[in-house]
Structure 1
């Protein structure tokens, strides 16, 4: 690497032109593909924020979900809740019902062109399946043995009594009570099915435009649902990154300006970071990869990482620079001392991020791969163009730079320098107490890790006062639930059953019992709808009395209720709950929570019920729906990130062991990182923070970054010891320029991610908070724990650096031995 830097310094024009040409070329290719998406060989920018794609396309749960949605004619829903707290009858008044009818009509015609798998297709609202007062049937007796099917609200009622009658009709039908009409009888919900989730945000926006035209009646309209939350997150994601990335760049610039007080020198640092970001993101687009939730954060990771090596070069150059010494010689000395730790840290950071490719989540794999590429790009730009730039910068620019100029935080009397000297003295004198305190913290944190609870919910990706979150709370307070999950039941292979099992009274009673159990005993289940509800309702109306609200006693009577239902306006609704051969049944669960831990409780409750209460024939269960998919990908995320963490730890350990050529030094480099990760995740467990997507990912992200400090500290310690032959003399020297460079990197990385806190999206805030905490704590652990550990075993650790005569005369005992040698 030293030769590469010298070659770049000597051939600076070639290197500048080559780097800029490659970066600009990639950027133009990415832009051309996006502007001309149909052009051959070019790849357009594609954006995908669907959490479903955290799983591979052939993942069984995705295959089942897509297949069973078609089998039962189901769609994803945009849910609109309408609440009027100012009217004594809530929304059941002529004015609000007129607006709801108008909103329903506006929704019917919504169509949008979207891109799916590179093809332009039309996404639309499935008007025939809208659940709204004017679109669903009222089921009412018209005499013994006859049932009348008329629309629940065939026209807008002109009187208050008519509005109340709409509510009473809806409440008498199990499929609508708690779903269409709120449980308090004053709110109403519309369920607007869409052909593709990608249009949910566009549908939401059109509905809001229509709502804005209504006269104020005191009603409030709340739009939510998992498709809306996921699509809205995508709409806001890039706006947030467009704010956070420049803020990160500004923070890094201001920090470097404070450290070095030289605008022209630090402008190169910013330019190098921009080149690395542009190169990486352009390569991602040109390669045909989709920009997902994870990959949208690539720039915010690369910006501070790209600065780290540059800070070490500037710090060392500062200490060595004098106007009367040839710059090429200074650069040769700087790179000769720094090439090894810079290469080590770049390789370990690359390995740490590349290890994310071991996870089963495609977007995480892409994120890890391209951040690794960005780290290598930043390393190359730094070790080639920074020496080249230092060769061409004017003497005037360097007039107050360097040890003689005493600029910035490198002056011997600066607060940073004094604080680090004090830290070095404290670490050297209190090694055993530091190690004892570290052991206590790790033990306490390990206990906290056992309390971590895996949980996530796309709705919670927004701040608590965001309109999506507010809508979610309001709708789930008033209705059975806006989170949909579906359970297919079918006879097990080889089971002894009727050819039409779900037309049999005993099987329908079993389904009804399962529904009652879930609604009664599982807190998050607001309602379960199934074929048994249709059969019981029609049977009641056929016989004209409430006592008949039950499953008929014979298959023929069941068949009669179904035949009667075929006279309704939309008889195909029955196929949402069974198949035409009545060989499968589908239960539609409405949950008032989308947390995957709550979905897991539902799955466990069904398993427990069916074990304790065997069905008439053995049944197979298949779960599907977005809420269940979220549960599966979260479980995959946890197991995948645990595997990635272990794999990353092993890779980094082997790498630093090989680079240091010593298992002892390799293990030593991992100590601050290990203590930090255990401590941070112990705190997560103790404070009750859910182990969600960003929290899971950060465990692996931190490995490649946080180990950098230890590598620089240990590499520079070995270099200095080789010259001083005394740990007691090495210790104070390591807390001069090397510690200042490490500390500046700690600050740059710690502050560089804080702009994510400016986001209104919770995952970005979580990433910003946790990774900043991890990186700062890892830096502090490096400056305190490593010297304390080295002090216990200096003769063993430095035996390769000790000259023969020093080794023969070396007394035992850490810093004290070093002091006697000195």
Structure 2
């Protein structure tokens, strides 16, 4: 690959024109379908997809069944609005607040949004759960039930508002769901035809709420769809802030190390070109911009300057005005082409390993970062040599270590002095360093065993964010804002309407009550039994009659009466018209995957311990359950990807070094780093969530670079020196300075992610920076210690025998 750099140095104008034209053409083609629709019909316009459900393939069984069952039972995802008033003695049940609640609900019915040409998504007005859209159910006369609007008009007095509250508390279906147990707070549920409008709905509702007179009421808007949709809306803004910040950080550090703006400018331009070309290729391939692919720029930028720093560092140490510049450039590239090519391959393999996961957006992310790695390598090995040859002599005035000290190899900067001390320490304290490393592995192993696999889209926001505050308050006041659905079906070939049978409905009612009592996560379980029991109680005007009737005709009578209500179709949200299938609505107080998994196990165990009166098949669906499934797929997929790519990179490094021993050496700092970081995650009690899982494979692609550079340069120097001590001293001059500069620049390059207000970005920033810095430190400390102990077998090929 050295010929490419030499060609670029000689034909610099041609390579500059080619690079500029390549980036321009790709960008134009990527933007054209969006800027000029229809002009290039063979190209797809830019599309954005922020739905976490698409973490699973479209044909995944759980997704297919979720769509089918939601259609069968007319179930939609909700925007949840909690209304509390802690200043009024009647809470939110006063005339002014209930008038505002009705105004808000009437407004919600009108919300509609154009999604695609000619298609609209809206709030499902007929299924809204709010005081003005549901019935008051009470005895009209013995044997007759009255269904009247609970709040047809807003109350004019606080006494009328209190009457509405009392009626709601009498109806078990509303208690805990729409009204808090203490009768002071309200929860409103606005169903959406498509969850992709949830953030827009939340914003529009909030705009109306902001116009209400201050009555002391506080409105909290939350729900899984809102969290997921809002995250998708904000992630692009966060990347628009984080990517320039990363560029600024990298620029500042390069300027600190090399001191010449014109010299380091090419590195930033090459990084920008790498990002532009990679994202353009992503769009041209027809891929959507997803949560994962939105983070590609922040990964490409630091990666793109990895090799640049080695070239700049070596050029900085070798340059003098007296020498022929082309000779210096060729010498620098001759020293570095092999480790740069090795690290490009291993980095690309590390990211490409993400294609082994069963998560499509992660596969796309891994593939295109791998492509970006090769694009960055090409720009580095061509544009930098060409640029160096294009600079006038005055631009290089006072540039280089030889300009300020007698010999470049004796760099007197703080970094040079520190490394000159660290090298002999690592070599002479080898056994102690190895023992400490083994102790660190044991400590990390204990932490890894204690890692908890968990995620919750609500927790993608900071604890002080209003959506987190709303989530916490609503789940304290009500039965829960997280919905999971249990589908029950009879496998009987004969349609005998099993869910009209008294014994079946009694079983469901008892199971619901038992599960609510057993779990603090399950706030409430709702089903057909609630409708039947409520109507049956009002038929007899007797609280003791709140139960399942003893006969099928009696059950049929209660359902027939309910069909006279204003919402007769509510029956079919719990059972199919042939009464062969039913669904139980689980309101959960937490959307954590661990809690959903606990509920799934609890229900499974209950069904095994207490078999229903007839054989019933069960399956889960709903957004909360889908999140559990794709997170499990993510964790197992990332583990497979990491193990697979670890083996591939080990084989690759062994082939590149032509030695299994040196290949294993290259992987040791990485293994120690990953173990330490994930051990710390376990000890700190952090959740092993989506970004934490992805980082295992990402770290493999990046962190092994330092070890490869260290080992490749060590072998080259040993071939000249033929002794370990002088090799160690020389390694901790220019080669280690370049590695250290890389560690600092790339490690700090990810820290701008901490400025984001989205927790996954913060997690990626702190963990990837920690991984890269620790991997660099392990390469510079542990590797010389290991080589000192095992130098004889390691260098047997490099030794010149007499």
**Common topology (TM > 0.5):** yes
In structure 2, the residue corresponding to 1:371 is in which secondary structure? helix
In structure 1, the residue corresponding to 2:489 is in which secondary structure? strand
Equivalent residue number for residue 30 of structure 2:
30
Equivalent residue number for residue 451 of structure 1:
450
Equivalent residue number for residue 197 of structure 2:
199
- Structural mapping, 1:219-234, within 5 Å: 219-234=217-232
- Structural mapping, 1:481-630, within 5 Å: 481-492=480-491, 499-630=496-627
Judge conservation of contact 2:271–2:304 (CA < 8 Å) in 1.
Answer: yes
Equivalent residue number for residue 16 of structure 2:
16
Displacement, 1:319? 1.8
Distance 1:92 1:406 in 2: 79
Displacement, 1:628? 0.4
1:670 alignment partner, one of 667, 674, 690: 667
Moved more, 250-259 or 562-571: 562-571
Displacement, 1:412? 1.5
In structure 2, the residue corresponding to 1:177 is in which secondary structure? coil
| 1:471 equivalent in alignment to 2:470 | yes
Equivalent residue number for residue 819 of structure 1:
none
Judge conservation of contact 2:744–2:773 (CA < 8 Å) in 1.
Answer: yes
In structure 2, the residue corresponding to 1:122 is in which secondary structure? strand
Distance 1:748 1:184 in 2: 57
Displacement, 1:36? 3.1
Displacement, 1:409? 11
In structure 2, the residue corresponding to 1:528 is in which secondary structure? strand
In structure 2, the residue corresponding to 1:397 is in which secondary structure? helix
Distance 1:34 1:442 in 2: 51
1:178 alignment partner, one of 176, 199, 202: 176
- Structural mapping, 1:631-646, within 5 Å: 631-646=628-643
Q: Which runs of 5+ in 1 are unaligned?
A: 806-822
Equivalent residue number for residue 748 of structure 1:
745
Judge conservation of contact 1:352–1:704 (CA < 8 Å) in 2.
Answer: yes
In structure 2, the residue corresponding to 1:293 is in which secondary structure? coil
In structure 1, the residue corresponding to 2:520 is in which secondary structure? coil
- Structural mapping, 1:251-400, within 5 Å: 251-400=249-398
Equivalent residue number for residue 709 of structure 1:
706
In structure 1, the residue corresponding to 2:487 is in which secondary structure? strand
Alignment CA distance shift 1:286-1:498 (3 Å): closer
Judge conservation of contact 1:308–1:745 (CA < 8 Å) in 2.
Answer: yes
Alignment CA distance shift 1:703-1:613 (3 Å): same
Judge conservation of contact 1:410–1:740 (CA < 8 Å) in 2.
Answer: no
Judge conservation of contact 1:37–1:43 (CA < 8 Å) in 2.
Answer: no
Distance 1:142 1:498 in 2: 35
In structure 1, the residue corresponding to 2:397 is in which secondary structure? coil
CA RMSD in angstroms comes to: 1.3
Displacement, 1:410? 8.5
Moved more, 165-174 or 567-576: 165-174
Equivalent residue number for residue 2 of structure 2:
2
Displacement, 1:493? 5.7
Alignment CA distance shift 1:28-1:173 (3 Å): same
Judge conservation of contact 1:170–1:176 (CA < 8 Å) in 2.
Answer: yes
2:725 alignment partner, one of 728, 731, 747: 728
Displacement, 1:161? 1.5
Alignment CA distance shift 1:411-1:245 (3 Å): farther
Distance 1:651 1:20 in 2: 35
Displacement, 1:679? 0.6
Distance 1:332 1:404 in 2: 18
Alignment CA distance shift 1:72-1:640 (3 Å): same
- Structural mapping, 1:44-123, within 5 Å: 44-115=45-116, 121-123=119-121
Q: CA offsets, 1:520-561, max 9 Å, x none?
A: 111111111000000000000111111110000011111111
Displacement, 1:45? 1.6
Equivalent residue number for residue 768 of structure 2:
771
Displacement, 1:120? 5.5
Judge conservation of contact 2:242–2:756 (CA < 8 Å) in 1.
Answer: yes
Displacement, 1:430? 0.4
Equivalent residue number for residue 813 of structure 1:
none
Moved more, 283-292 or 664-673: 283-292
Judge conservation of contact 2:423–2:728 (CA < 8 Å) in 1.
Answer: yes
In structure 2, the residue corresponding to 1:404 is in which secondary structure? helix
Q: CA offsets, 1:157-179, max 9 Å, x none?
A: 11212101111111111211111
Distance 1:506 1:37 in 2: 61
In structure 2, the residue corresponding to 1:396 is in which secondary structure? helix
In structure 1, the residue corresponding to 2:220 is in which secondary structure? strand
In structure 2, the residue corresponding to 1:140 is in which secondary structure? strand
Judge conservation of contact 2:409–2:733 (CA < 8 Å) in 1.
Answer: no
Distance 1:57 1:184 in 2: 43
In structure 2, the residue corresponding to 1:620 is in which secondary structure? strand
Number of aligned residue pairs? 800
Displacement, 1:213? 1.3
Distance 2:209 2:317 in 1: 66
In structure 2, the residue corresponding to 1:22 is in which secondary structure? helix
Distance 1:586 1:759 in 2: 40
Distance 1:406 1:443 in 2: 47
Judge conservation of contact 1:409–1:416 (CA < 8 Å) in 2.
Answer: no
2:687 alignment partner, one of 671, 682, 690: 690
Distance 1:522 1:14 in 2: 70
In structure 1, the residue corresponding to 2:395 is in which secondary structure? coil
| 1:43 equivalent in alignment to 2:44 | yes
In structure 2, the residue corresponding to 1:48 is in which secondary structure? coil
In structure 2, the residue corresponding to 1:755 is in which secondary structure? helix
Displacement, 1:183? 2.0
Equivalent residue number for residue 782 of structure 2:
785
Judge conservation of contact 1:487–1:586 (CA < 8 Å) in 2.
Answer: yes
Distance 1:37 1:55 in 2: 30
2:696 alignment partner, one of 699, 704, 712: 699
Distance 2:693 2:491 in 1: 37
Judge conservation of contact 2:47–2:289 (CA < 8 Å) in 1.
Answer: yes
Moved more, 41-50 or 716-725: 41-50
In structure 1, the residue corresponding to 2:453 is in which secondary structure? coil
Displacement, 1:403? 2.7
Distance 1:492 1:335 in 2: 71
| 1:419 equivalent in alignment to 2:418 | yes
